[in-house]
Homo-oligomer: A and B are copies of this chain.
Amino acid sequence: MCMQTFTEKLEVSTSGELDIIDITGRIQEIVKRSRVRDGTVTVFVAGSTAAITTIEYEPGLRSDMQRALSMLFPKDLEYEHHKRWGDYNGHSHIRASFIGPSITIPITDSSLTLGRWQQVVLIELDVTPRRRSLVVKIMGE
């Protein structure tokens, strides 16, 4: 079979700061639609105040992740970004740059090669609810 690319946009609405959303099922559906059985999928969020990673998606860890982000990158520091632009989200940008905007996952037998308790999540880091645009790019055969 021939190598090909397949792309879909994924729109995700977030409820506000530190919302963590499981997007595994929606990515797996796109992989199925692509008919790519062997390759990779890159999930990329366009925007500088959201991030993508993997985590075991359960309420305890959602809460632990939120606390870790809040402790390591406090909101109540004075951010130069805010002083210049007045948008109160300097910490959001820094958190996003540390976690990163994308992930690339192998596809084998038309499935993501995730562990059983490993989900792909979008983390909203901005201070208000947002509608996020993700690009899901699949390459393979």
Contact = CB atoms under 8 A, between A and B. Distances in A.
B5 A141 contact: yes
Identical chains in the assembly: 3
A55 B118 contact: no
A53 B100 contact: yes
Counting chain A residues whose Cβ lies within 8 A of the other chain, the interface size class is: 35 or more
Query: Lowest 5 A-B CB distances belong to which pairs?
Result: A60-B80, A106-B137, A60-B81, A46-B115, A47-B115
Given A40-B137, A46-B118, A56-B93, 10 more contacts: A5-B140, A44-B113, A47-B118, A48-B56, A48-B115, A53-B97, A53-B100, A64-B90, A67-B77, A113-B137
Interface of A: 2-5, 7, 38-40, 42, 44-48, 53-56, 58-61, 63-65, 67-68, 72-73, 77, 79-85, 90, 93-94, 96-108, 113-115, 117-118, 133, 135, 137, 139-141
